[in-house]
Chain A
């Protein structure tokens, strides 16, 4: 393997490492955020810590697109011209800026239209990537290998799971805001834990999907 080819495989691997590995801290620290035993200040801080650690998986997911496609191109599995990679990188960089800005900016009103935009972007991206993957199964383009098309389909699945997390935490966000302003009640806590429970299922689904994608990437089965 050429050295720079190895370098991209390495980056691809590190993205997986920080995606799945980073999620461990997110998953565990979120328990404290949802636990009414702790006082509000602690829960708010744990919510912030959870959100901060969550930037590791969020960042890696965005970067997976340019790095994944670059790797496919380097290996000769991508039929579209290499010049398109610039578009993938530009898109990845712009989206990453948006994701980080949404994390750092505290003004909710300012963020609102961009949060909506980010969610729509995820829908579009999920559909486009899934379509490209399914098309590749039949036409062997833009991806020439079926296993790679399957990986892309699994990746589109993780975007869908991410969207579903956002949908399922809506009651959570509302209940958490009420708790913050008016205090904890059993009803509010019930909404909170039900919503968090639903989101957790989607998080676990992401773990399964990216682990499968990793296995397929190592295995590279011909089918």
Chain B
């Protein structure tokens, strides 16, 4: 078997646990804001949400090194050999930071991890956008325009992820207040607001992912 086959398979499975898992997250988020559902019920939904939502967080980080691995295997990326190993190392560190931020949420250490994770994303968005635009206009570092477009869309997807993070930040505290005070017009509004505001970002992220998938399959000459 060509090692490239394995990497394509991993690439696809990552999409499965990103886009495919997201549907449960989305559906549960709509159920958690329903006033008809009791506190206990919503606490259970919150657990489902938390569990499933961990998957997109992890696989989205792995997508970048796996994608670059594939690109280098096809001879479409200048990042090969030792540089690729460096990318894997950095991705591993990023993953560790991101997972720690989630598992230590609410502690000062968790907050530090979350801030580092945020800055990694800012830098990455800038680097990927510049690399993609340079490739689209000058043919380097990525020689194929479809791949450059995927890189640009990945930056877009990262932006959507940040949009989700910022708009959804108020949900955690609002949920805590709801659990403490029960269902009041205020606590219900507090839950509803972030879920409604996060929707456009989620839909934009999904659009980015499905377009990226199509580009990867069709690999059109642009």
* Interface flag for A124 (CB, 8 Å): no
Contacts of A41 in B (CB 8 A): 38, 40-41
CB distance from B27 to the nearest CB of A (A): 6
Please count the residue pairs between chain A and chain B whose beta carbons lie under 8 angstroms apart in the complex.
118
Interface size class of B (residues with CB under 8 A): 35 or more
For the complex, give the distance between the alpha carbons of A196 and B210 in Å. Answer: 34
- CB contact list, A20-44 vs B, under 8 A: 20-22, 24-26, 28-29, 32, 38-39, 41-42
Digit string of B119-141 for contact with A (CB within 8 Å is 1, else 0)? Answer: 00000000000000000000000
The closest CB in chain A to the CB of B1 belongs to A219
Contact among A21, A46, A219 with B20 in the assembled complex (CB-CB below 8 Å): A21
A1–B221 alpha-carbon span in the complex (Å):
11
Given A17-B15, A17-B16, A215-B9, does the pair A52, B213 have CB atoms closer than 8 Å? no
| B interface SS class | helix
Q: Is B23 an interface residue (CB 8 A)?
A: yes
Within 8 A of A (CB), among B1-36: 1-2, 5, 8-9, 12-13, 15-25, 27-28, 31
Which of B16, B25, B40, B48 neighbours the largest number of chain A CB atoms within 10 Å of its CB? B16
Is the beta-carbon distance between B27 and A25 smaller than 8 angstroms?
Answer: yes
From A19, A45, A211, residue with most partner B Cβ within 10 Å = A45
B180 within 8 A of A: no
Task: Write the nearest CB–CB distance from B209 to chain A, whole angstroms.
Answer: 9
Is the CB of B37 closer than 8 A to any CB of chain A? Answer: yes
Query: Which residues of chain B (48-68) have a CB below 8 Å from chain A?
Result: 48, 51-52, 55
Cα A26 to Cα B20 with chains together (Å): 12
A45 touches B41 (CB 8 A): yes
Complex Cα spacing A219 to B17, Å: 21
Answer whether residue A138 sits at the interface, using C-beta atoms and an 8 A cutoff.
Answer: no
Does chain B have a CB within 8 A of A13?
A: yes
Given A1-B218, A49-B45; A16-B23 close (CB under 8 Å): no
How far apart are the CA atoms of A116 and B100 in the complex, in Å? 49
B residues at A contact (CB < 8 Å): 1-2, 5, 8-9, 12-13, 15-25, 27-28, 31, 37-38, 40-41, 44-45, 47-48, 51-52, 55, 210, 213-214, 217-220
* 9 closest cross-chain pairs (CB), A and B: A21-B20, A25-B24, A6-B218, A42-B41, A17-B20, A21-B16, A29-B48, A32-B44, A219-B5
